[in-house]
């Protein structure tokens, strides 16, 4: 179990981490999600022991790590650029951590073969690093960080430099391998879809603090504030007092809220041309744009009398731009934001 | 802070102490002698320097010969660079890399090579005498300004060629094609497009060549003589022949000020060069028309004639006697000639040179590598140390040698009679080459690679052994070869500090050239070929390591 207590750090003057408290359980994959510069990589580097001048405490199973250097921690760390050793073969890369632990050569051979099989690169041992594709490099880097059986695995945007198609398949594989190894993992990414797919819990970070810590399902359905909601890609964010439509939602669904309270109309709770539900509030609008995404179309609807745009999903073909449509918002779609 | 890590910084004292003792201390000693020869501030040497027509003349001549050399070098390199950047032909890159051979050749060897080609006893004179049955020497170039300038072109041609070729290649063809479409003929293309575009490279190369020829020593000393003395040669004469140390010191200070002014100009021009290079688009095209074939052949033959005929003449002169192979010149190296200025047989200097070169290489590696780690480190003073460590490169060898003579001949540091002073002076000249070879590879190692090793359990020593050294091996090998070659060929400083028994090959060749006899001349030929072979091997090794390095990183 990894515990961070009041973790703080500043680069020269700029504060990069501000009193972060976090606990990662064994067998858990925790994602640090946030825009670049939010402090997630700094946090990772502090835990790895690569940054030593931090405030607060890093505890592993209750033991303070401040006095142990990076090479003494026995953690695994996977870099975005993989950081493979260019002058060594695949085998020597994976064996590197084992050799530092003075493992017997025969055991090293067995362990490396096992790791190669596990990441689907059986027989790649003698290959040169320069001859590998991006996906293969990623697997070697994973095998290298897992080979010494670390107590904690850290991954810094491990899929960031791969193309989209490869990312989806590798994300799943990565989750299976990490879960299979039964270890505690810290996974840094700026892509919320990747975080949803991989994480047991997600910590959304911004400006050096954790804004929200939740399971992926809860995070998606209940982003805590406007920043988090916008970072997760939501856009229907308003204040109750904004216009007639929002005031109607306010009166009917959340009469106790204040006019200045921000809220999100979750796109999953918006329906088009289905104003049969008496519990919903309906309004007509004009289709301003319609982007076909495959399984659904992302539709932006403009309501001229309110001066308001709503974004939602349509699963009925690809609605034509300019058409008139009835929008109905149910009570469940309203999420109060802090 | 992490435990144990801080003691590593002690090792940084090595390059700093070395520089302090053997660079700054001698420089201060020169300053001391120049400004206070008798213990109090006395500017009389300076006033004499500035008010005597002779010394002002020396300074002006130094500028004049440098300007002349630079102009001729640029004039010859410009058309060659045009052909190199515009046309694709077999052996181009090989020729371009071979053209840099002069960079590692010692001045004594090059002087001997040109003497064997166009000197009094040179092949050209032999040929003309035989062809036209002359009974006099038709080509009289020794001890003229002309031969000095020609050799300066030999040394600097490749530098100018490389700078201009790469700059021109990077410019692309867009501007030229646009002008052509707008109706420009060949003449307007040169006047309006090509020359204005190449101007930054022309200026930058010019500044570099000017700096090199301004500090030229061996070439001027051997081929020009006292009549054409530059500042460098004058410092040598004032010290060794006239023992006028205050005047030598004043001249050295003038020299240092001039070099730093030139350095500033060059750095400034260099900056303009770097920003201009960006869109590296290949502008080469195959050679088609007879005119183009003529151009390319002309350039290839010219480069061959300029750079390789002197070296071939040297080898031929030393091994051929009336058209037959004759190695007696080499066998004579074991004998010390009667009444010679030398105290040892010439061949003994080979052992001296090898020994000093090995020691210098070791010291240059130790100092250069710690210096590289210091500069590459993100420490606060890395940015400050980098230019500091490059100062010896910008200081002339003669100034360094003179500084050694005046600073290291009395307690606390009396090395004047120790042979150690030679490898120390060579190290000072050679270690910047190690830094320049190692530093790029060191900076090319991503910090994440090192951190990955750390996280996997590598202690600082493991990091050095398993990551840094293997990744640097090529750079270290190049640096070591450079250091060895530089030490083998070092002339200016050695001439000041080498003692009777500890003379090196270049010093011996210089002494032999000074001897009037034919026997000494022949020994000088043989010694020069030996040194040429050593330095050329070093060059081949460096180029091979570099070429192989491109594909791997």
Q: What is the pLDDT of residues A29-40, one digit of tens each?
A: 999 999 988 999
* Integer Cα distance of B378 and A166 in angstroms: 36
Peptide bond into B352 cis (omega under 30): no
Cβ proximity of B56 and B64 under 8 Å: no
B-chain CB neighbours of A75 within 8 Å are 455
Strand A334-336, strand B87-88: pairing: unpaired
Does A79 reach chain B within 8 Å, measured CB to CB? yes
For residue A96, which residues of chain B lie inside 8 Å, CB to CB? 453, 456, 458, 466
Per-residue pLDDT of chain B (553 residues), as tens digits, is 343 445 667 888 899 999 999 999 999 999 888 888 787 888 888 888 888 888 899 999 999 999 999 999 999 999 999 999 888 888 888 888 888 899 889 999 999 999 999 988 888 888 888 888 888 888 888 888 999 999 999 999 999 998 898 888 887 787 888 888 888 888 898 888 888 888 889 999 999 999 999 999 999 999 987 788 899 999 999 988 888 888 899 999 898 888 888 888 888 887 767 654 444 456 778 888 899 999 999 999 999 999 999 999 999 988 887 777 888 888 888 877 655 566 678 888 899 999 999 999 999 999 999 999 888 876 666 777 777 777 888 788 899 999 998 888 777 777 877 889 999 999 999 999 999 899 888 888 888 999 999 999 999 899 999 999 999 998 999 999 999 999 999 999 999 888 777 889 999 999 888 887 888 888 899 999 999 999 999 998 888 887 655 333 2
Contacts of residue B449, defined as CB under 8 A and 6 or more positions apart, other chains included, come to A83, A84, A85, A86, B467
CB-CB neighbors (< 8 A) of B1 in chain A: 52-53
Which residues of chain B neighbour A95 with C-beta distances below 8 Å? none
Q: Of B2, B3, B451, which has the smallest distance from its Cβ to A83's Cβ? A: B451
- Residue A291's DSSP bridge partners are A298
Question: Is B161 in a helix, a strand, or coil?
Answer: helix
Partners of B88 in the β-ladder:
B286
* Contact status of A102 with chain B (Cβ, < 8 Å): no
Question: How far lies A111's CA from each of A114, A124, A148, A149, B137, in Å?
Answer: 5, 14, 9, 10, 81
Q: Between chains, do B456 and A86 touch, taking CB under 8 Å as contact?
A: no
Closest CA to A301 of A313, A293, A315, A316: A313
Q: Mean pLDDT in runs of 10 for chain A (338 residues)?
A: 93 87 92 92 92 92 90 91 92 94 94 92 92 91 92 90 78 85 90 92 94 95 93 91 88 86 90 74 87 88 86 83 87 88
Is B549 in a helix, a strand, or coil?
A: helix
User: Which pLDDT belongs to residue B4?
Assistant: 43
Distance from C-alpha of B467 to C-alpha of B470, rounded to nearest angstrom: 6
In a 13 Å sphere around the CA of A205, the CA atoms on its Cβ side amount to 31
Contacts of B421 (CB under 8 A, 6+ apart): B404, B408, B415, B497
Q: Which residues pair with residue B505 across a beta bridge?
A: none
Cα separation, A270 vs A282, in Å, equals 10
For residue B507, what pLDDT is reported? 92
Pick B457's closest partner by Cβ from A80, A85, A100: A100
Residues of A in contact with B444 (CB under 8 A): none
Judge: B451–A50 Cβ closer than 8 Å, yes or no: yes
Q: Report how far residue B215's alpha carbon sits from residue B223's, in angstroms, rounded to the nearest whole number.
A: 15
| Enclosing H/E stretch for B321 | strand B320-321
Distance in Å, alpha carbon of B374 to nearest chain A alpha carbon: 20
Q: Provide the shortest C-alpha distance from residue B447 to chain A (in Å).
A: 8
CB B529 within 8 A of CB B100: no
How far apart CA B451 and CA B231 sit, in angstroms, is: 52
CA distance A141 to chain B (A): 10
3-state SS of B328-367 is HHHHHHHCCCCCCCCCCCHHHHHHHHHHHHHHHHHHHHHH
Closest CA to B430 of B506, B507, B366, B504: B366
Closest C-alpha among A50, A45, A54 to residue A5:
A54
A144 close contact with B: CB closer than 8 A: yes
Q: Which of A71, A76, A81 sits opposite B454 (nearest CB)?
A: A71
Provide the pLDDT for residue A22.
94
- Give SS3 for A169: helix
Put simply, whether A75 touches B (Cβ < 8 Å) is yes
Q: Do B449 and A96 touch (CB under 8 A)?
A: no
Residue B516 token pair: 């009037």
Q: What would the two tokens of residue B189 be?
A: 């293309």
CA B327 to chain centre: 30
A86/B457 CB distance under 8 A: no
Q: CA–CA distance from B241 to each of A197, A259, B58, B229, B234 (Å)? A: 84, 98, 17, 13, 10
* Contact call for A86 and B454, based on CB within 8 A: no
Nearest CB among A50, A52, A85 relative to B449 is that of A85
Chains A, B: CB contacts within 8 A come to 75
Residue of A nearest to B458 (CA): A71
Kindly determine whether residue B455 and residue A48, on different chains, have CB atoms separated by under 8 Å.
yes
B467: chain A residues, CB-CB within 8 Å: 85
**Torsion angle, CA of A314/A316/A322/A325, rounded to 10 degrees?**
-80
How far apart CA A242 and CA B85 sit, in angstroms, is: 66
Predicted ipTM of the assembly: 0.82
**Given an 8 Å threshold on Cβ–Cβ distance, is A52 in contact with B1?**
yes
pLDDT at B280: 46
Which one of A72, A96, A150 makes the best mutation probe of the B interface by having the most chain B beta carbons within 10 Å?
A96
How far B541 CA sits from the closest chain A CA (Å)? 21
Going B512 to B513 to B516 to B520, the CA torsion angle's sign is: positive
State how far the Cα of B291 lies from the Cα of B504, in Å rounded to an integer. Answer: 50
- B456 vs A50, A86, A97: nearest CB: A97
- State the pLDDT at residue B551: 32
Q: Which residues pair with B525 in a beta bridge?
A: none
Q: How far apart are CA A178 and CA A173, in angstroms?
A: 9
Q: What is the pLDDT of residue B126?
A: 86
Chain-chain contact of B454 with A85 (C-beta, under 8 angstroms): no
Bin A302: left if φ > 0, else alpha if -120 < ψ < 50, else beta: beta
Instruction: Pick A79's closest partner by Cβ from B3, B448, B553.
Output: B448
Side-chain half-sphere exposure of B288, counting CA atoms within 13 A = 4
Q: Report in angstroms the alpha-carbon separations of B14 from A203, B18, B356, B423, B457.
A: 49, 6, 20, 16, 29
For the stretch B449-485, what's the b/e string if a residue is b when 16 or more beta carbons lie within 10 angstroms of its beta carbon?
bbbbbbbbbbbeebbeebbbeebbebbbbbbbbbbbb
**Residues in B touching A148 (Cβ below 8 Å):** 456-457
Considering only CB atoms, which chain B residues are within 8 Å of A79?
Answer: 448, 451-452
**Is residue B392 classed as helix, strand or coil in its secondary structure?**
helix
Residues of A in contact with B469 (CB under 8 A): none
């Amino acid at each position: 179990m990894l515990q961070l207590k009041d973790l703080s750090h500043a680069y020269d003057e700029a504060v990069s981490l501000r009193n972060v408290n976090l606990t990662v359980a064994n067998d858990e994959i925790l994602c640090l999600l946030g825009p670049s510069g939010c402090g997630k990589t700094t946090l990772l580097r502090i835990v790895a022991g690569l940054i030593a001048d931090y405030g607060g405490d890093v505890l592993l199973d209750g033991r303070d790590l401040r006095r142990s250097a990076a090479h003494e921690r026995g953690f695994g760390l996977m870099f975005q650029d993989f950081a493979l050793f260019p002058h060594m073969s695949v085998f020597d890369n994976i064996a590197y951590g084992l050799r530092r632990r003075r493992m017997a050569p025969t055991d090293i051979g067995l362990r490396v073969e096992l790791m190669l099989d596990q990441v689907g690169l059986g027989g790649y041992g003698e290959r040169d690093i320069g001859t590998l594709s991006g996906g293969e490099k990623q697997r070697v880097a994973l095998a290298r960080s897992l080979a010494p059986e670390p107590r904690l695995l850290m991954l810094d945007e491990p899929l960031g430099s791969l193309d989209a198609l490869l990312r989806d398949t590798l994300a799943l594989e990565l989750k299976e391998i990490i879960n299979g190894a039964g270890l505690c993992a810290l996974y840094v990414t700026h892509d919320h879809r990747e975080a949803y797919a991989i994480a047991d819990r997600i910590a959304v970070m911004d400006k050096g603090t954790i804004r929200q810590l939740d399971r992926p399902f809860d995070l998606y359905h209940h982003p805590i504030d406007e920043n988090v909601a916008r970072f997760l890609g939501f856009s229907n964010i308003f204040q109750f007092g904004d216009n007639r439509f929002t005031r109607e939602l306010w009166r009917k669904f959340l009469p106790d809220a204040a006019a200045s309270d921000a809220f999100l109309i979750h796109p999953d709770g918006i329906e088009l041309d289905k104003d049969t539900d008496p519990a919903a509030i309906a309004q007509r609008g004009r289709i301003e744009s319609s982007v076909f995404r495959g399984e659904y179309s992302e539709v932006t609807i403009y309501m001229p009398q309110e001066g308001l745009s709503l974004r939602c999903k349509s699963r009925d073909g690809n609605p034509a731009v300019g058409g008139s449509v009835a929008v109905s918002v149910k009570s469940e779609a309203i999420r109060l934001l802090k | 802070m992490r435990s144990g890590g801080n003691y590593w910084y002690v090792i940084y004292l090595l390059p700093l102490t070395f520089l302090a003792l053997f660079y700054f201390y001698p420089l201060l000693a020169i300053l001391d002698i120049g400004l206070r020869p008798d213990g109090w501030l006395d500017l009389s040497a300076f006033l004499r320097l500035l008010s005597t027509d002779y010394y002002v003349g020396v300074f002006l001549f130094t500028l004049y010969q440098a300007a002349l050399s630079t102009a001729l070098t640029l004039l010859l390199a410009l058309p060659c660079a045009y052909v190199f950047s515009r046309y694709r032909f077999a052996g181009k890159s090989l020729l371009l890399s071979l053209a840099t051979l002069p960079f590692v050749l010692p001045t004594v060897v090059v002087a001997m090579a040109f003497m064997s080609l166009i000197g009094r006893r040179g092949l050209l004179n032999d040929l003309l005498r035989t062809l036209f049955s002359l009974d006099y020497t038709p080509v009289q170039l020794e001890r003229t300004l002309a031969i000095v300038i020609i050799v300066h072109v030999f040394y600097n041609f490749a530098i100018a060629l490389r700078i201009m070729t790469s700059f021109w290649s990077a410019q692309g063809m867009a501007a030229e094609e646009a002008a052509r479409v707008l109706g420009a003929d060949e003449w307007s293309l040169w006047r309006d497009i090509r020359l204005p575009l190449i101007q930054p490279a022309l200026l930058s190369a010019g500044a570099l060549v000017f700096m090199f020829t301004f500090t030229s020593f061996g070439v001027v000393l051997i081929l020009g003589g006292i009549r054409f003395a530059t500042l460098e040669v004058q410092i040598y004469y004032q010290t060794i022949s006239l023992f006028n140390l205050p005047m030598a010191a004043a001249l050295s200070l003038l020299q240092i000020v001039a070099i730093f002014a030139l350095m500033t100009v060059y750095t400034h021009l260099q900056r303009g060069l770097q920003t201009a290079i960006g869109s590296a688009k290949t502008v080469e095209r195959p050679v088609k028309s007879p005119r183009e074939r003529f151009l390319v052949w002309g350039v290839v033959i010219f480069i061959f004639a300029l750079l390789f005929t002197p070296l071939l003449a040297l080898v031929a002169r030393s091994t051929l006697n009336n058209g037959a192979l004759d190695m007696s010149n080499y066998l004579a190296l074991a004998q010390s000639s009667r009444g010679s200025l030398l105290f040892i047989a010439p061949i003994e200097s080979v052992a001296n040179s090898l020994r000093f070169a090995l020691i210098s290489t070791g010291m240059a590696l130790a100092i250069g590598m710690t210096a590289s780690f210091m500069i590459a480190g993100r420490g606060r003073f890395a940015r400050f140390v980098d230019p500091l460590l490059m100062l010896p490169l910008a200081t002339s060898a003669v100034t360094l040698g003179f500084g050694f003579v005046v600073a290291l001949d009395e307690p606390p540091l009396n090395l004047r009679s120790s042979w150690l002073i030679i490898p120390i002076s060579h190290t000072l000249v050679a270690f910047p080459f190690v830094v320049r070879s190692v530093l790029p590879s060191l900076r090319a190692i991503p910090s994440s690679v090192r951190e990955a090793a750390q996280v996997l359990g590598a202690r600082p020593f493991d990091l050095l052994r398993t990551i840094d050294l293997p990744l640097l091996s090529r750079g270290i090998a190049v640096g070591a070869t450079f250091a060895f070659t530089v030490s083998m060929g070092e002339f200016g400083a050695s001439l000041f500090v080498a003692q009777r028994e500890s003379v090196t090959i270049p010093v011996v060749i210089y002494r032999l050239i000074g001897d009037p006899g034919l026997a000494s001349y022949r020994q000088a030929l043989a010694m020069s070929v030996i040194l040429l072979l050593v330095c050329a091997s070093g060059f081949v090794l460096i180029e091979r390591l570099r070429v192989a390095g491109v594909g791997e990183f």
